[in-house]
Structure 1
């Protein structure tokens, strides 16, 4: 297949700064390449006059045999496919080159970046070496995001949805199809392709990872096909007062190794720790940190507030459902407020749910630190500025601040906070909110707060930390007169 933009021309080199990011990804990828035996390529494409135009794709390098089921979805306007990369007889770098050029043959047709994208003149990359949230216990993959050109996919959503619903294998929407294809949140402004490689080491946070009778069992999980002598397990012991009492690291030779299935080997060690301690573990490979997680004593929980809560909500199952279960949010959006209120309590805040039937035009929650500073919280399961949410939140915060001044408490701070179940990368109004002094908490923040609630928290410090994120230093040092 020929392309009017590139026919008769050699593919021009990428701009140096884009090539540099591709090269850096390749170097990092190479450290674990031997573990990636079952790479998968999935994508959504638009039917165009010259073949399939990539809308969004994902080249996924898992550790072990975690390849996605093969899938082909064809409609007159939009198609989807998931296939092992080995069946295309190509590696990820060659695939990127093919998409920029004449395309690659797939089970549903020849695929390339769309003709409107003009990939020879518009190509940008973003390298994500570390997780956006440094405290998540989820193993975050190395990720390269490639985007090129622009498309008007948004204008055709109704057409896509109609074709998907009427297909031989019907889907409710393009969002459902994207989820089944293991794609990142959909982009509607550009052609995009994500290349991810799972971390080859991780802290073992399974049932064996625990503190019991003053002995902590620590372990690191390592992909079998990489050089485990390059793995390191770091740790810090944290006392109930949140101060670190000990820290150190174990190299491969200091660990006892055993197999865990076909693809993973586990290196473990036991250390003695004071009663009531928790341990933060760090897994790294060839000097690059990849994963962290907390190890606790289930019989001597460090955070008393969480212990009290878990009497009625074992392992935070109810709280996590309130925070993360989309079905529950559709049935009653206010369940999110209950989950957020639970988190604020476990973090040491006094919480007012403002839940009276006779309370009108109120914030969803007030959370007060021991020093008396107040977070005014608005919760949403969608965009943070739907129906003017930000303006309403600001107005409520201003009204509260005025009341504090009138009652002789002008020294207290009021921080407006909007909590959304959306992921940070999907937000569009975060800069607007921050410029107005509003802190935005996303899905990733809720996940981190829930996991870290096992540790005693200082609500005053937490408040000041959030305050500083949305108030420039100049504003803090020289407040308006």
Structure 2
């Protein structure tokens, strides 16, 4: 059994609890989701998450059990009197549940790797402030053979294709080690049901009904379609018109803007931004390319389906590639969809140029980056493009190899170092979601290219330092 939290871990936990205290009153729902493994009459935690949020999810999470695997959920009140007491128990390497004791296997050093990320990358795509406290123990490969577990799950009376599919059903992500996370969800969000109608901009926030709203405020910046200074301001809770809408309460405010404007909103609780998003006029986009595209795909319904539908057998990879190219076009790039044609499938899925003539060489995948050697392929094909440009006197043009996946950053984390080392820029599900938001405003593809180049260079530098 772990000896409890040491001084270093206690300082990390203190930072987490300080962040927790800011939104505690707005996040009354605390539920623990887990997957565990039975070995020699001992139940070991494979993965677990305590979500601290405003309301209970609508989805049901019934208890699951196979010969050696168990998964389920509990209210925190079934396990511990408070978040603080729960963390103390985790430090000792144990979770007492109504069905029995779950032990958390510590690392070979006899402790848990402990980190606090106040701005976890998993929240980026939805523009959420997501704070995560993590405890990482023994590597999975020292606990079990995942191939054996996958075959066991396939043969269960309630079958799952793999451990990954089971995790998806219980709000968990695949890791490499036994991991327990405590996740602080945003206390309030921008009301994306609001829109601009001509000159009338309706903006607002949304949070669960019954949560005190006195500490809520809404910051905003108006990005006009004409050349005029950006207007900025903040609306207090008292300036918002509050109404109950089923399980939620919405606070809204209306003001005038120039036609074609976009309003970026910042939902705040106790002065701290929890979520941000754009409000636009669906009939008057700043981005003429998105306006033209939406003539044939209203509200991007087909684009969103192709990009974000669950990955199952029969899902067409070509649909995903096409949707990525559509989005790049709306962002001001000039994509050529090569992967659609069998005779030129030795090339990348998409070849893209920016207005300045720089190149993105893109491979798309519905899974991991190394699947079907795609990571190696995009590096090799980018080299060929670079060599061709140099041969014809265009060595000044920049070339970035890019991998695009519908998986989240967390799901791709195990391969991120390989991508960094090879100088490959990775766009995950969160990046695609951010791209859709950016398509609301006037496109600036050259700036996007420069940001991608900087991110790629930073990743290479980080990889080199960690190797040394």
TM over 0.5: yes
Q: Which residue of 1 aligns with 2:321?
A: 337
Contact 2:420 2:459 in 1 (8 A): no
Per the alignment, residue 191 of structure 1 pairs with: 178
Structure 1 residue aligned with 2:395, among 410, 416, 440?
A: 410
Q: Deviations over 1:327-361 (max 9, x none)?
A: 47743222221011101110111111124332241
Paired with 2:123 and 2:227, the residues of 1 have a C-alpha distance of 18
- With over 3 angstroms needed to count, the CA separation of the structure-2 counterparts of 1:36 and 1:466, relative to structure 1, is closer
Question: Aligned ranges for residues 338-417 of structure 1 at < 5 Å?
Answer: 338-354=322-338, 355-417=340-402
Deviation at 1:153, TM superposition (A): 6.2
User: CA shift at 1:290, angstroms?
Assistant: 0.7
The number of aligned residues is 459
Pair 1:444 & 2:435 matched: no
Match of 2:34 in 1: 43
- Whether the 8 Å contact between 1:333 and 1:381 is mirrored in structure 2 is yes
Q: What's the secondary structure of 1:152's corresponding residue?
A: helix
3-state SS of the aligned residue for 1:235? strand
Q: Say whether residues 1:22 and 2:10 are aligned partners.
A: no
Deviation at 1:203, TM superposition (A): 1.2
Q: How far apart are the structure 2 equivalents of 1:56 and 1:261?
A: 34
- Name the SS for the 2:47 alignment partner: strand
Q: Distance in 2 between matches of 1:141 and 1:279?
A: 23
CA contact (8 A) 2:93 2:104 kept: no
1:460 to 435, 440, 446: 446
Match of 1:97 among 63, 88, 91: 88
2:335–2:350 CA contact under 8 A, matched in 1 = yes
2:306 is aligned to 322
Match for residue 201 of structure 1?
188
TM-score by structure 2 length?
Answer: 0.89
Cα-to-partner distance string for 1:189-235 (whole Å, 9 max, x where unaligned): x22111123222111111xx111130111112244555433222000
Given candidates 276, 288, 293, the residue that maps to 2:277 is 293
Q: Which residue of 2 aligns with 1:478?
A: none
1:413-466 Cα deviation digits (max 9, x unpaired): 222111122222233333333343321111111111122212121122222221
**Secondary structure of residue in 1 paired with 2:111:** coil
- 1:377 Cα offset (Å): 0.9
Q: Does 1:150 align with 2:139?
A: yes
1:56 to 47, 51, 63: 47
Bigger Rg, structure 1 or 2: 1
Structure 2: which 5+ runs fail to align? Answer: 462-468
- Could you tell me how far apart the structure 1 residues matched to 2:209 and 2:153 are? 41
Asked whether the equivalents of residues 67 and 84 of structure 1 are also in contact (C-alpha less than 8 Å), the reply is: no
Q: Is the 8 A contact 1:282 1:289 kept in 2?
A: yes
What secondary structure does 1:340 align onto? helix
Partner of 1:238: 223
Write the distance in 1 (CA, Å) between the matches of 2:38 and 2:373: 38
- In structure 2, relative to structure 1, the CA distance for the partners of 1:257 and 1:271 (3 Å cut) is same
Instruction: Give how far 1:384 is off.
Output: 1.6
